Structure 1
Amino acid sequence: MKIAMINGSPKGGSTNSGFLLEKLRPLLPPDAEVTTYRIGPKALKDEQYRELHGMDMLVLAFPLYFDAIPSHLVRMMTEVERRRPAYTDSQPIRVYAMVNNGFFEGNQCKLAVEMVRNWCERCGFVFGTAFGHGAGEMFASLGNVPVGSGPLKNFGVALEYLTKAIHNGESIEPLFTQPNFPRALWKLSSTRLFWHATAKKNGLKPKDLRRRPGIPPIPLSPTGAKTRDF
């Protein structure tokens, strides 16, 4: 069995998508031949696209960007779709996905998961399943917490759900989860430890984050319709 793990994070270095793949890797079938791809600003090479079309499974891991898939990963997916007619003799490929987002609720990932499902239909792939997990920025601070324990209890459930589908080669409905952590405390800690700290690094104060730029009024045409010159 050949499995491609695709890190779709636009960031360099350590990423939440990499964290997801790292936790999944030891749970894959022991006899699987696993290859990891990092999708960055540069496009994949021709031989890498050929490798992807020869896989039995693709596992996408990516962060949510405006309720959707990051544009550079969309570019790769579009190119895979374009090249697919040249590989019609290859075996059906199953696709699984792991999506994380900065909101607390995992349900925020639903649209992105449906995009992956639609892409599978266009390519003639089989959509296996996916999970969406909220509060992804917490992963960086939970590296020493065992999966399935504490704040990562629900993540452990989602990972087991995905892994079971991969082992059985089945298609099941997506699962959406969030950390086992009070939402109010998550909001407070993310504001003070992340947003305020990031603002300080950039020479800003917390009040600067709440500043709203003035927006000029929209002029009305004689008929009452709103108009604006661009």
Structure 2
Amino acid sequence: MKIAMINGSPKGGATNSGFLLDKLRPLLPREAEISTYRVGPKALKEEDYDELYRTDILVLSFPLYFDAVPSHLLRMMTEMEQRRPVDESQRTIRVYAMVNNGFFEGDQCKLAVNIVENWCERCGFHFGTAFGHGAGEMFSSLGNVPVGSGPLKNLGFALEHLVHSIRSGEHAEPFFTQPKFPRFLWQLSSTRLFWHGAAKKNGLKPKDLRRRPGIPPIRLSPPENDVKR
């Protein structure tokens, strides 16, 4: 079994998408031959696409961008559709996806999962399943927490759901979840640790984040032929 794991995050360095792939890898069949690809501003090479078409399973891991797929990953998906070899038309490639987003609710990822499903249909791939996980920015602070415990308890269920489909080869309905963590505490901690921290680095104060710049009203003039006489 050949598995290609694709990190679709446009960011460099450590990413939440890479975090999910790292947690998935130990759960995959030991006999599997696993390759990892990074899709960013630099496009994949010709030989990379050839290798992807020789795999049995594609696992896409990416962040939610405007309720959809990041443009860099979308470019790769489009290239795969256009480069599909004629002699590979009968080959079955199973596709799985792990989507993380900055909102708390995991079901915010539904549209992105639908995009992956539609892409599979266009390419003749078999869509295995996917999961969407909310509050992805928490992952960076939970690296030492075992999957299936504490705030990562629901992530454990999501990974089990994905791995079961990979091992059985059967389709499963997408799974959407969020951390096992109170929503109000997540809002409080993200505001204080993330937004206030980012403001300080940029020479701003918390009150500056709440400032609303005044926008002058827009006055529309009626068309000349519509002026009342």
TM-score (norm 1): 0.94
Q: Distance in 2 between matches of 1:106 and 1:66?
A: 14
SS of the residue 1:6 aligns to: strand
Per-residue deviation, residues 191-220 of structure 1 (Å, max 9, x unmatched): 000010011011111122122233332332
Cα distance between partner residues in 1 of 2:192 and 2:87: 51
Residue of structure 2 in register with 1:199 after alignment: 199
Structure 2: gaps of 5 or more residues: 224-229
SS for the counterpart of 1:19 is helix
Q: How many residues align?
A: 224
What's the counterpart of residue 155 of structure 1?
155
Stretch moving more, 196-205 or 77-86: 77-86
Task: Quote the sequence identity (%).
Answer: 78
- Correspondence for 2:61: 61
CA deviation after TM superposition for structure 1 residue 221, in Å:
3.4
Q: Distance in 2 between matches of 1:195 and 1:111?
A: 27
Quote the RMSD (CA, aligned, Å).
1.4
8 Å Cα contact 2:63-2:99 kept in structure 1: yes
Deviation by residue 1:6-31 (Cα, 9 ceiling, x = unmatched): 00011111111011000100111111
Q: Is the 8 A contact 1:113 1:130 kept in 2?
A: yes
Distance in 2, Cα, partners of 1:88 & 1:3: 17
Specify the alignment match of 1:219 in structure 2: 219
Q: CA shift at 1:93, angstroms?
A: 0.5
Asked whether 1:2 is paired with 2:32, we answer no
Q: How does 1:137-148 map to 2 (within 5 A)?
A: 137-148=137-148
Q: Is the partner of 1:140 in helix, strand or coil?
A: helix
Structure having the higher Rg: 2
Contact 1:53 1:90 in 2 (8 A): no
1:1-230 correspondence runs (5 A)? 1-89=1-89, 91-222=91-222
Preserved CA contact (<8 Å) 1:53 1:87:
no
Report the AA paired with residue 137 of structure 1: E
Take 1:120 and 1:160, find their aligned partners in 2: how far apart are those partners? 22
Shift of residue 85, structure 1, vs aligned partner? 4.6
4+ runs deviating over 3 angstroms:
85-90
Q: Which residue of 2 aligns with 1:227?
A: none
